[in-house]
Amino acid sequence: MASSLSTVTRHKLQKESELRVEVGWESSIRLQVIDGTAEIFGTELPPQFKLTFTAGLKFAIFTWDGATVEIEGSAEAYVADETPMVSYVNVHAILEQRRVRARDAAASTTTTLPSTMNADAALQPQGPRVIVVGPSDSGKSSLTRMLLGWAARQDWKPTFVDLDIGQGSVTIPGTLAATPIEMPIDPVEGIPLEVPLVYFYGHVNPSANTDSYRALVKELARMLEIQFAANAEARAAGMVINTMGWVEGVGFELLLHGIESFNADVILVLGQEKLYSMLRDKFKTKPGVDIVKLHKSGGVVARSSKFRQRMRNVKTREYFYGLSNDLSPHAASVNFTDVQVFRIGGGPQAPRSALPIGAEPTADPTRVVPVTISHDLLHSVLAVSYAAEPDQLLTSNVAGFIYVTEIDIARKRLSYVAPCPGPLPNNLLLAGSLLWVE
Ligand SMILES: Nc1ncnc2c1ncn2[C@@H]1O[C@H](COP(=O)(O)OP(=O)(O)OP(=O)(O)O)[C@@H](O)[C@H]1O
């Protein structure tokens, strides 16, 4: 039975049960494990230590052997003893065997090859490449976290790939990203930002420009392939890929494109029979791809579009201000001539003169188009690209993001806020449809 908590409440959890918590929007809560052991999405909680969970968060504290958990503050919370966790951890055990096999095989390849010879990258021993798929609110991100967390607890550094542009769990929404996970993901702080490879798609809706989305997925996969070829440890640990909840029509095509681009060999399907059978049909002639159907947890909470919008704002705010307002973003301004802003898509594909008579030029969705700086850019989130030339902007990764706070047309100056001081690392900026108002 759900209870509304406003003060301190203790919950005794039996083995293999979980406490499902929804923090209210009014304030954060403090939570600690009083005795026993418990984890949040694969990350073990430190005993006797108060952790703060911010307003709006929804999560489960799971225990394998039993625990007592105390919550201070206002939250909806209830205990559930029916969870799919055992099936999830069984998947982890199989992935673990594959990682060990890849590591052992890599070790014997290096000892048997002459030192001057490199094994063909495609033939090198390879750990599991897992892709988690399912409709919206099926628990994909949570399962991804668990699999990464359990692997990291066994000293692997698996690569987390996030293709879900709606949430932006690595940096901000509207991005695709990959990062090695060296330790279980902190349930409060999230993913550390040290070495992520981030690409800016610029929209939270994949249908805004599916061609550019595909181009970015391909490029991210290509970059990881290069990294894996040079790093046997990362290759053996493999990757866990989180996807978006769009699984019908073009969404399904994009899923297939993701699976093929990353050469995924384990597809975990959460909570939808139809998607499972469509994938099984697609891959029945392809040996070496395992498709596994898993139950969705009864704890997964459906989130409205308003809630998602709110969480996106929280995520963007966190990027600039830190989780608990502990970062001081840096306000600065530049002359219009100091920066060049572009967007992807638009503009004619070919000049009318080059087209057959009567044909209308269509917009090229992957074309890099210059943007004239105007009031239209006010409140935009812009990516600072690593591209050396504008024509590389489509597939270059990004250094970070700024948001535009003022456009002074008379003085031709653009004011912005960046997460750190100092000049921008590049003057090539990329705009999408992402806006943010403090
Ligand atoms: N067992 C659980 N108990 C309580 N809350 C949960 C549980 N599992 C997941 N949640 C919460 O439910 C929400 C949806 O889960 P999650 O983000 O994993 O789904 P998703 O399939 O990745 O969603 P989408 O792709 O639509 O964004 C999240 O807020 C998550 O923290």
Burial class (CB in 10 A: 0-12, 13-18, 19+), 89: middle
pLDDT of 71 strictly over 90: yes
Name the closest-CA residue to atom 18, ligand 1. Answer: 139
* Alpha carbon of 391 to ligand 1 centroid (Å): 38
pLDDT, tens digit (0-9, with 9 covering 90-100), for 301-323: 888 888 888 888 888 988 888 87
Domain identity same for 130 and 263: yes
Would you say residue 7 lies in a domain?
yes
Whole-number Cα distances in Å, 297 to 41, 42, 53, 59: 12, 14, 21, 11
Would you say residue 315 lies in a domain?
no
Would you say residue 103 lies in a domain?
yes
Give the Cβ contact number of residue 47 at 10 Å: 13
Q: What is the CATH number of the domain that holds 56?
A: 2.60.120.1030
Name the closest-CA residue to atom 15, ligand 1. Answer: 139
Distance, CA of 126 to CA of 135 (rounded, Å): 28
Domain identity same for 346 and 398: yes
Name the closest-CA residue to atom 10, ligand 1. Answer: 300
Q: What are phi and psi of 384, to 5 degrees?
A: -95, 110
Domain identity same for 276 and 340: no
Would you say residue 318 lies in a domain?
no
Q: What is the CATH number of the domain that holds 169?
A: 3.40.50.300
Residues in binding site: 18, 58, 137-142
pLDDT the model gives residue 364: 84
Domain identity same for 52 and 30: yes
Number of domains, the chain? 3
pTM: 0.91
Mean pLDDT of the chain: 89
Q: What is the CATH number of the domain that holds 404?
A: 2.40.30.330
Name the closest-CA residue to atom 9, ligand 1. Answer: 300
Percentage with pLDDT > 90 across the chain: 70
pLDDT of 21 strictly over 50: yes
pLDDT of 240 strictly over 90: yes
- Cα 227 to chain centroid distance, Å, stands at 19
pLDDT, tens digit (0-9, with 9 covering 90-100), for 35-60: 999 999 999 999 889 999 988 889 99
The angle formed by the CA atoms of residues 214, 219 and 222, to the nearest 5 degrees, is: 125
pLDDT the model gives residue 185: 74
- Residue numbers of the domain that contains 216: 85-113+123-303
* Alpha carbon of 62 to ligand 1 centroid (Å): 14
Q: Which of 61, 141, 169 to mutate to test the pocket of ligand 1 (most atoms within 8 A of CB)?
A: 141
Would you say residue 118 lies in a domain?
no
Q: Kind of pairing, strands 43-44 and 39-40?
A: antiparallel
Residues in binding site for ATP: 18, 58, 137-142
Would you say residue 313 lies in a domain?
no
Sign of CA dihedral 201, 128, 130, 253: positive
Domain identity same for 412 and 429: yes
pLDDT the model gives residue 303: 86
Give the Cβ contact number of residue 420 at 10 Å: 10
pLDDT of 5 strictly over 50: no
